[in-house]
Structure 1
Amino acid sequence: MSTYRFDRLLAPRSVALVGASARERSFGGAILRNLRRAGFAGQIWPVNPNHAVVADLPCYPAIDATPEPADLVVVASPAASVPGIVAAAGGFGCGAAVIVTAGLGSEPGSLGYATREAARAHGLRLVGPDCMGLAVPGARLDASLLAEAPPRGDLALISQSRTVAAGIVAWAAARGHGFSAVLSLGQALDVDIADCLDHFASERTTRAILLSLDGVADAPKFMSAARAAARAKPVVVLRTGRSDPSRPENAATHAGMLARPDAVYDAALRRAGLLRVDDLDTLFSAVETLSRQRPFPGKRLAILANGRGVGSLAVDRLADLGGSLADLSPETHALLDETLPATGLAASVSWRNPLDLGADAGGDRYAAALAALLADRASDAVLVINVPTALSDGGEAVAAIAEATGRHRRGSFRAKPVFAVTMGGGADDPLKRAGIPRFATDAEAVEGFMHLVRYREAQDDLMKTPDSLPRDFSPDVTAARRIVAAALAEGRTWLDPQEVTGLLAAYDIPTLPLQVVPDADAAAEAAWPVIAAGGTVALKLVSPDIVHKSDVGGVHLDLTSEAAVREAAAAILARAARDRPEARITGFAVQPMLRRPKARELIAGLADDPVFGPVVVFGRGGTAVEVIDDRALALPPLDLRLAAELIGRTRVARRLKAYRDVAAADEHAVALVLVKLAQAAADLPELRDLDINPLLADEAGVIALDARAAVAPLATAARRDAGSGPSHARFAVRPYPTEWERRTTLRGRPVLIRPVRPEDEGMFAAFFRTASPDDLRLRFFAPVRDFNHAFLARLTQLDYARAIAFVAIDPAVAAEPDGTMMGAVRLHADANHRSGEFAIMIRSDLKGLGLGRALMRLMIDWARVEGITRIDGQVLRENRAMLTLCRALGFAIRTDPDDPDLVRAELDLAAAPV
């Protein structure tokens, strides 16, 4: 239901408190005190059948006995009464309810299940149960169990844990940080984290979102909301329970063992562009930074201190966190030489970063040095440190820092950020008045600086255009599906080695030739051609019950004769019979030995996470892969940019570079394998686990030496979109919707219509360059000249769970490898996924071809499949051709109430013919 009725939840005109009490330590009593203490301006109606008056307020016997339906109902009554209260509130017409009562459960037959069903029957929104409640300082609303009312500010706090929420609010209040809203979600029977992210991403009084996260119930919904929120403003996440050492259930592959739950959460948060912190201290550091400083480009830090030692500590922490120390420009050196000698420093001092002003530095010295650093274009931010000494006045230094920063901001179009480490503070703190983040230690200040750096980098990553895949890459999906289906038909959960080789070949992942044979004699016969040619072979056990062959000595290498092959087979069978007598042995795999002495051993694979679904795993390979634990995870789908970033997050990435007499490995080939695995996960929803270990990589490319794959039937029948194509319900991030690609002919002209891809940015740029000014004005309602990367990225990088854009391409134009863009249509759904806004643009020389109708019909079909019930868009009144098309498709046309030059075209899909 997303943000439906959030206005009644967070901006209510009336509040009914069920379970109101005058007892000091009761839930109902505490919430009533908080409501009144906050100065809520609306009506407060206590509800309790046992009282006529509570705290001088008239008390009503039931929720439907109040003067009118309350916008917000707070329930603090015994658990057994909650379902009935919620049903009565919904039937009476109340808008939302906050349930602080605990112990309801959520499984079918529980009180929680009955409560949720009662709310859904009436569209009543629920927060909780087992929550702290909510507070909206700007509305003077505190319907919570918080000890103190949160101060007003621009941070939204969303917490699954009520105690963590209370701790964050108490800490922030003591330091003067305020909130636009505080929500404790508890069990989250209805309103969840994704709903709140959707709301606060567009809520104008919220500048940053703080999220205390334990777990995610609906991964696709969470990821879609998180990605949308991260594009709008900083989202900082603290996940509790991250030290849980448990492994995924039934993990039998190396990839599955490496994909520990918290590592998968980390990959998901990274993919969404959220800023993760590990503890409350770091979260508070992020709060201090985000409450006083907006994100900025760059990561070069200039450090100014009254002592080289403390400056060096800051440099060390900066290096630990991956920041960059700025190199001061020659102009800044000259300016420091000119302004600082008069303050008492020796003229021979060397101006290096960190800049040491000396233990006796006063306000004038700080002001002069800070002004020089703020003017220096070689740095992106300045950290100013002042530690107490007997030779200087700390208060004077703080005032000088605030004044110099203020002068810089008043005279600069884009002011440089300043961070401060000083003692003191208080109500009359000059730094606070100047909006300068203040920290107690250099480490905290550097962490605060890096929070903003990482947020900005995450935003940049979200907007980067990926490289295009090789145009000749076209996986044999039919062959791959045939292999998987055959195994499932036989009731098997593991593919045999020959099938795994065929699966990898279907995705053009290089492998060694392999033969599966039933016994030792057949193994010797298969090995003979290789041995006769001067090579050696590897012999491997094949058993559906023994996944890790090396555990039972099931791999013998460098066998040089038929006799050696037979002896190895006998030894393997004897060891397996001793260590795993219950295991079924189906034969042996024979492979030629490969000599690539300078190749790096990697692991690449897929794991199945119970929350986020398929996960791509990459790292250092070999038999000790879990012990080494050098791995990184990513959620599919992947493009080459994301795959390269995944590789770069491992230690083994450094070994892929050239060193000594070892040439650099082909990292592009490694990245391409990861992209292909992600594509296999999309094409084959029954593919659950896949290991390539080792994957050898060197300057010649990559080759898979050993691989295994597990399959399982889907829990439910795969839904088909638009009559074709598999469902991607197991994906947390919806992949590119191949099933919506169409080829058609319009008046004898071939046209390819397909969903837009991120790598289409160049094609869009070329399209806009050749479009006429009138075409652009009809599309954007104003002259547009700057089609920069950020603008184009927003048109081409889509969350397919919320939006679609179809591009029409003329494939017959040989001058362009991908053809020439003819036009495009897009539809963006609202947060509730019930309505969507469209826009369309066709090249003027192609009008009359029927292209607009084809694009609009495909967009309407997509909306129907997605459950969208209403489509609307703005059209210039003079655009008669577009209005004629809209009327022909069943759109209703009405004047835009905000602009007489525009009309709104609206289509009710429930009433429109299919």
Structure 2
Amino acid sequence: MTVRNLDALLRPSSVAVIGASDRIGSVGGTVWRNLRAGGFQGPVLAVNPHHAVLDGQPVVPNIGALLVVPDLAVLCTPPETLPPLVAELGARGTRAAIVMTAGLDAMRKQALLDAARPHLLRVLGPNCLGLLTPAIGLNASFAHADALPGDIAFVSQSGALVTAVLDWARSRRLGFSHLVSLGEHADVDFGDLLDYLASDPQTRSILLYIESIESPRKFMSAARAAARNKPVVVVKAGRAGNGIHAAASHTGALAGSDVVFDAAIRRAGMLRVDTLQELFTAAETLARFRGGHDGTLTIVTNGGGAGVMAADAASLAGIPLRELGPELLSRLDAGLPATWSHANPIDIIGDAPVHRYTDTLRALLADRDTGAVLFLHAPTAIVRSDDIARACAPIVRPDADRVMACWLGDAAVTDARRIFEEAGVADYATPEEAVHAFASVVTYRRNQALLTEAPTASENGPPAVDVARTVIARALDAGREMLDESEAKAVLVAYGIPVVKTLAVDASADAAEDAARTLGYPVALKIRSRDISHKSDVGGVALDLCDGAAVRDATDSMLSRIRGSRPQARIDGFTVQAMGKRPLAQELIVGASIDPLFGPVILFGQGGTAVEVLADRAVALPPLNRVLAHEAIGRTRVAKLLAGYRDHPPAKLDAIADVLVAVSQMLADLPQIAELDINPLWADADGVLTLDARLRVSRKQCAGAQRFAIAPYPAELAETVAWRGRELLLRPIRPEDEARHRAFFEQVEPRDLRLRFFSSRRELPRSELARLVQIDYAREMAFIALLAPARGGAPETVGVVRVVCDPDNVEAELAILVRSDLKHQGLGHLLLDKAIRHLRGHGTQRVVADVLHENAAMRELARSHGFTAEPGQDSTASMRLVRELAADRGAPITVHP
């Protein structure tokens, strides 16, 4: 379950406290007093067999005696009482419960959930502090203080942090829409609350304190949906990570590490910060500040020292300062003394009168190229800070979302700080805090951009999946988990990844020499052993062997070394490979491993034998496309080398990205993959080349699309159908379809667009178009109909059907659009049938479509497919078409020929 009945939890109309008490210091007594004192307007009921009256209000002995069925029940009773109480509450019609009780063992916790499930009763906790919804006066918690109403939602896995945040926020007059303590989150979890809060009109930003996540795909789907609507900021405990272990590959050592969680947060379009202070600073900044889209900063200050501090902080955070253009410099020269800094930071000198501040701010805000403006002021005896603030406030108010302020000091700038805050300007205590907040905004926008980027197509051809599966199956049938180098490279070749020519031979000098002669000198010789993963660590690699004698000497000395240092290692033979000659190539590593929580993850970074020492790496969650692959590459230090320097031309970045995309596809297709290292992967202006590869497999089905934290592209849903004597491809939409989808909309008449979107429009904004092609396949689906033109050329989109499921997968909303010149030719029937078949297979119970009354074609199409009509939200203009799918779950699925 996800959002179902969460309204009864977070916005109940009545509340009962089971175990209410008058005992000071008890949980039941504290919750009762908090509910009574919070101003909640609905009935507040008490249940306790040992009391008749509490605070002048009658107390009933049991749930059956309640005269009102409460929306929400707060349980403060011993563990053994909880399952029967929940079952009784559910039977009476209560739809949500907060379980404060701690100490439930696994058996009792499961009994609690089993009691709630038949009634769809939602459980918060157990072992939680409770929750607060200040706007309705709801304080269903045992916190020591109430919360102020506001528009920030805070969800915490720690009850102690909720109380600490309450103290901190009240001192700063910071308000909340909701505060929720999850406790052990046996039922209601982060994913559920993200889904609810994403569409909650009273919540403008969402803050999370996370210690653990149990349902990664559910969490990622909810997080990505919420992050598209409003800022989501996360503090994650446990940065050190306790899941790191020895592994057969460099990448395998990342399993369970904190960098994987970082990758998940980034991929979801959220922002991660390190402390609770930063959590709320980031929330305030994202809510108020809209400037700095180019990631640069302009600093204006009345003190050189403050400006230097801000500039230093910007340099450390990787934030460039904006260069001042000639027109702006000229305008500033006209209003500033000759001794001003003539650069960014703009130092207007400590003796600045009021007009110098106002003139400078007018010049900066009139020039859109200045982007974000950081206003720094240190108090002086020459001009009162509040006088400066009053004069500047009317100037900054229209552009408050481009300005950040830092009034240095305390009492002397209190009024000035208040005046700027009332003008809508985000305020910070120090220059460093302001710059750090700006850097968070830049990071957040970068993460958000990944949700709307349109990738280009990879040059990888269709993989030879059967070849790769055969190689892996042979190794597993032989009882081996480590593939030898030639086998690992065969899998890479099957996925279009270039490898150096390699031959596998037995452990004899004659065989090695024959292979070297076949490949041509010079060659590299490597030991082949299922017990040795890192060959260079044991002297198992010899390079630049130029003739047969060198090969024979290398085989003898290598065998002698290894038998002396690793006598238990089984020697399977050698691999002989041609020595590549690419002197300007960079050594990279591309890898994959299985995280215990998020499943398959991909690593990219600087490679070679010192990969752990360099620790230059970026981690990404699959599935990947070129845009996401390039983003991962760009997060490493080696990216600067790949861009070219001195006599090194830029490397072919698309070729590197295509390797990452290929590894992503491998992880989806080959569930036996446990660990992969491609190291080194050479990259230069001519492309990439794999020199060495390690691949560990397992019968345990470690990888595979089902283990992805983000549902990959479901290629298996594509099908070809016959339409009017031609073949039509029906397949799920993908991000690469953006340009084709724009061309499709351009061929739809304005009237048809109005019937589809309920509003007149000539074109779709880029942001909306990106959202239509970048979908979460776990919760929504869009099938496009592709038709090849009669005279050849690229296929064109001629129709699309879209279904968006609610988080509970109970109901899906449907919409269809067909190219205007192809209407009334059966396309709509094909698309609707495809959507219904998909939803039935997905387990969705009902499909609905909101349709304007005048849309006769859609009404008739739906009627012919078993839909019935109901009144719409605006019954005068629209209707709702509904088809129940649960009733025909066993009906045969029609597959078009």
TM-score when scaled to structure 2? 0.95
* Cα separation, 2, equivalents of 1:206 and 1:139: 14
Q: Does 1:504 align with 2:488?
A: no
The one of 511, 521, 534 equivalent to 1:548 is 534
Would you say the 8 A contact 2:291–2:401 is kept in 1?
Answer: no
Residue number in structure 2 paired with 1:705 = 691
- Aligned residue in 2 for 1:211: 208
- The 1-side partners of 2:146 and 2:678 are apart by 55
- Count residues with an aligned counterpart: 887
How big is each residue's C-alpha offset from its partner over 1:309-368, in whole Å with a ceiling of 9 and x where there is no partner? 211211221232233323344444444445x4xxxx535645432222222335443333
Mapping for residues 768-847 of structure 1, pairs under 5 Å: 768-813=745-790, 816-817=793-794, 819-847=795-823
Query: What does the per-residue CA deviation read over 1:493-527, in whole Å, with 9 as the maximum and x for residues that have no partner?
Result: 22222321211111111112222222223533433
Q: Map of 1:72-111 to 2, 5 A cutoff?
A: 72-106=72-106, 110-111=107-108
Partner of 1:875: 851
In structure 2, what is the equivalent of residue 368 of structure 1? 359
Structure 1 residue 710: deviation in Å?
A: 1.4
Shift of 1:374: 2.0
- Equivalent residue number for residue 185 of structure 1: 182
Q: In structure 2, which of residues 455, 458, 463 is the aligned counterpart of residue 469 of structure 1?
A: 458
Deviation at residue 690 of structure 1 after TM alignment: 1.0
Unmatched 5+ stretches in structure 2: 893-897
2:737 aligned with 1:741: no
Code of the residue aligned with 1:489 in structure 2: it is D
CA distance in 1, matches of 2:793, 2:352: 64
Summarize the alignment of residues 397-412 of structure 1 with structure 2, pairs less than 5 Å apart. 397-406=388-397, 408=398
2:20 aligned with 1:20, yes or no? yes
Confirm whether residue 236 of structure 1 aligns to residue 227 of structure 2.
Answer: no
Conservation of the 8 A alpha-carbon contact between 1:20 and 1:28: yes
Distance 1:329 1:815, change over 3 A: farther
- The residue aligned with 1:283 is 279
1:489 aligned residue:
477
Q: 1:37 to 1:239 in 2, by over 3 A?
A: same
Change (3 A) 1:736 1:395: same
Matches of 1:897 and 1:528 in 2, distance apart? Answer: 77
Residue equivalent to 2:467: 479
Pick aligned residue for 1:602 from 564, 570, 588: 588
SS, match of residue 672 in structure 1:
helix
Name the CA shift for 1:574/1:615 in 2 (closer, same or farther; >3 Å): same
| CA RMSD, 1 decimal | 2.3
> What corresponds to 2:112 in structure 1?
115
Which shifted more, 127-136 or 97-106?
A: 97-106
State the alpha-carbon separation in 1 of the partners of residues 570 and 58 from structure 2: 76
SS of residue matched to 1:515: strand
Q: SS at 1:319's partner residue?
A: helix
Residue deviations 1:253-281 (CA, integer Å, cap 9, x gap): 11112455200000010000001101223
Q: CA deviation at 1:432?
A: 3.0
Supply the distance in 1 between the matched residues of 2:405 and 2:631 (Cα, whole angstroms).
30
Q: Which residue of 1 aligns with 2:54?
A: 54
Structure-1 separation of matches of 2:821 and 2:565: 75
Question: Quick one: which amino acid aligns to residue 770 of structure 1?
Answer: Q
Residue aligning to 1:721: none
Aligned to 1:253, which of 244, 249, 273? 249
Match of 2:161 in 1: 164
Summarize the Cα distance change of 1:394–1:845 in structure 2 as closer, same or farther, 3 Å threshold. closer
Q: Provide the rounded CA distance (Å) in 2 between the counterparts of 1:375 and 1:799.
A: 41
Deviation at 1:613, TM superposition (A): 0.7
Task: Indicate the SS of the match to 1:786.
Answer: coil
Please show how residues 384-395 of structure 1 align to structure 2 within 5 Å.
Answer: 384-395=375-386
**2:619 counterpart residue number:** 633
Shift of 1:296: 6.7
Does 2:37 correspond to 1:37?
Answer: yes
Name 1:520's counterpart in structure 2: 508
Measured against aligned partners, the alpha-carbon deviations of 1:434-480 in whole angstroms (never above 9, x if no partner) come to 2322211001111222333332332223111111223x611111212
> Does residue 300 in structure 1 map to residue 300 in structure 2?
no
**1-side partners of 2:137 and 2:484: how far apart?**
65
CA contact (8 A) 2:246 2:253 kept: no
1:758 corresponds to 2:735: yes
1:377-421, Cα deviation, whole Å (9 max, x unpaired): 112222111123344422323333434323x35xxxx96334333
Measure, in 1, the Cα distance between the counterparts of 2:390 and 2:15: 46
Question: Using the alignment, how far apart are the partners of 1:552 and 1:504 within structure 2?
Answer: 25
Which deviations, in whole Å up to 9, do the C-alpha atoms of 1:577-600 show, x marking residues without a partner? 333333322222121222222211
Match of 1:687 among 664, 669, 673: 673
Q: Following TM superposition, by how much is the alpha carbon of 1:294 offset from its aligned partner in structure 2, in angstroms?
A: 5.2
Task: Check 1:9–1:618 CA distance in 2 against 1; reply closer, same or farther (3 A cut).
Answer: same
> How far is the alpha carbon of 1:612 from its aligned partner?
0.7
Indicate the residue corresponding to 1:358 in structure 2: 349
CA contact (8 A) 2:270 2:448 kept: no
Q: 2:354–2:388: 8 Å Cα contact kept in structure 1?
A: yes
2:405 touches 2:425 (CA, 8 Å); kept in 1?
Answer: yes
Distance 1:703 1:872 in 2: 52
Distance 1:346 1:521 in 2: 83
Q: Distance in 2 between matches of 1:350 and 1:589?
A: 65
Q: What whole-Å deviation, never above 9, does each CA across 1:170-217 have from its counterpart, x for those lacking one?
A: 212211111100011011000000111111111111111111111211
**Matches of 2:149 and 2:401, distance apart in 1:** 26
* Percent identity for Structure 1 against Structure 2: 45
The reply to whether residue 539 of structure 1 matches residue 525 of structure 2 is: yes
Check the 8 A contact 1:363/1:398 in 2, yes or no.
no
Q: Distance in 1 between matches of 2:525 and 2:332?
A: 72
Taking structure 1 as reference, are residues 477 and 811 closer, same or farther at Cα in structure 2, changes over 3 Å only?
farther
Q: Which residues of 2 match residues 561-576 of structure 1 at below 5 A?
A: 561-576=547-562
Give the match's secondary structure for 2:299.
strand
1:181 is paired with a residue of what secondary structure? strand
**Cα distance, 1:219 vs. partner?**
0.7
Q: How far, CA to CA, are the matches of 2:835 and 2:841 in structure 1?
A: 10
Normalising by the residue count of structure 1, what TM-score does the alignment of the two structures yield?
0.93
Shift of 1:66: 2.1
* Cα distance change on mapping 1:689 and 1:301 into 2, 3 Å: same
SS of the residue 1:463 aligns to: coil
C-alpha contact 2:15 2:74 (8 A) present in aligned 1: yes
* SS of equivalent to 1:429: helix
Pick aligned residue for 2:131 from 114, 130, 134? 134
Deviates more, 1:420-429 or 1:787-796: 420-429
Q: Which residue of 2 aligns with 1:325?
A: 321
Alpha-carbon distance in 1 for matches of 2:735, 2:366: 38
Q: Which residue matches 2:895? A: none
Match for 2:23: what amino acid? R
**Paired residues of 2:401 and 2:425 also in contact (CA < 8 A):** no
